[in-house]
Structure 1
Amino acid sequence: MRYIVSILFTALLLTACQSKNTEEASPKLQDNPQEDEVREGDFVFRLVSEKQEYGEFEKPEIYAKLTYVGDKKEIQISHAASLFSFPIHEQSRGYTVDYAMDTPLLITNLKRGEPYRESYEFAGGYSDQDDEDYVAFVQSIIDHSGFPKGDYSMEGYADFSVVDDSDTSDKEIKMKLQISFDVE
């Protein structure tokens, strides 16, 4: 009986140590709602809010980074006016503000290991068919360059194509992340 208890105790101890080592080896950004990161193929996409909480109408400090981690020293990617888009959602009001941008075809060179970074700038809008409260909400963001009080989540998209001289078709990549922050 003592032998069985000893084996069970040892197995339990090894399982506990293994779980702890796994957590230490791979910290998860999901535990921090103001940061998120994903890797797809040769690219790492990261979305970060510098703060978890902003003051009302304080300009948010949010940025996105794309890093090429493949074998080549440098590659070219094609994308719209911005490599990134940042739709926002205000949870308590139930509003979503899409991210509008021009869609020319731009080419950007990415060097291996050097992040390409863009800071968030509000690029939403409204139409004359939108609800008055929604229009007032969006207009307050435009007027103050920051957000009114609320609970926000932001999706970050990296949408681009790898330009490859050896192939006639570009490889399209769409990566998505989400962060959250509060405005008090």
Structure 2
Amino acid sequence: MRRLVLILSIFFMLAFGLFACGTDNSGQSNSNERPNDTEDTKQEGDFEVSINVENENENPEVHATITYIGEKEQKNIYHGGSIFFFNIYQVNGDFEHIGGMNEPLLTTTLKKDEVHKVEFDHPSLDELETGEYEFEAIADFSLDKDNYIDNKREITVSKIVNIK
């Protein structure tokens, strides 16, 4: 699993690196510019998920949001102790925090177009040294309590930031 994550991370870094090397409207090359982040918002079906990292320079504050944008007035989702798994990877280093939870099945009711925010509060945020980090949030939930596996959804968003 760890090897797969490493291979996928390298692939995405290379892919984003190639797209970042282009030209702007002036015709000047911008290959020395680096994008500030990767994807920070994603919409899949009736759900929009985002990650936000604030105070990048000192004690970062990380949270993820999920918003139901479907046709109904509200939607129940079923998940473990939290809707989100939070992971942190040091881009050019060895630091890695893989989130996990071991809780009973919980229900959250999402109201249409209302943002549901989940904070990532973990001691590892205080341990980050200067460097570049990828913060990842994985919304992991099901739409059916009785048939959890067949109705499971995983929506991943991430953001790369420099910690100074």
Task: Tell whether the structures are fold-level matches, with TM greater than 0.5.
Answer: yes
Contact 1:99/1:122 (<8 A) preserved: no
CA distance in 2, matches of 1:181, 1:90: 10
Q: Residue 43 of structure 2: which of 39, 43, 49 is its match?
A: 39
Percent identity over the alignment is 29
Summarize deviations over 1:99-149 as a string: whole Å, max 9, x none.
Answer: 1322310001010011110111127xxxxxxxxxxxxxxxxx37xx35222
Q: Of residues 151, 159, 164 in structure 2, which corresponds to 1:179?
A: 159
Q: Which residue does the alignment assign to 1:101?
A: 101
User: In 2, are the aligned partners of 1:34 and 1:48 still within 8 Å (CA)?
Assistant: no
Give ranges in structure 2 of 5+ residues lacking alignment. Answer: 1-24, 26-34
1:156–1:176 Cα contact (<8 Å) kept: yes
Quote the offset at 1:95 in angstroms. 2.7
| TM-score of the pair, normalised by structure 2 | 0.70
Q: Which of 148, 153, 164 is the equivalent residue of 2:129?
A: 148
Tell me the equivalent position of 1:161.
142
What aligned pairs does 1:1-184 form with structure 2 within 5 A after superposition?
Answer: 32-33=36-37, 36-51=40-55, 53-55=56-58, 58=59, 60-122=60-122, 141=124, 145-163=126-144, 169-170=147-148, 171-184=151-164
CA distance in 2, matches of 1:146, 1:179: 18
TM-score (norm 1): 0.63
Residue type at the aligned position of 1:41? G
Give the helix-richer structure, 1 or 2. Answer: 1
CA distance in 2, matches of 1:92, 1:154: 14
User: In structure 2, how many angstroms separate the alpha carbons of the residues matched to 1:35 and 1:80?
Assistant: 25
Moved more, 147-156 or 65-74: 147-156
Shift of 1:41: 0.5
Contact 1:64–1:119 (CA under 8 A) maintained in structure 2: yes
Aligned residues: 129
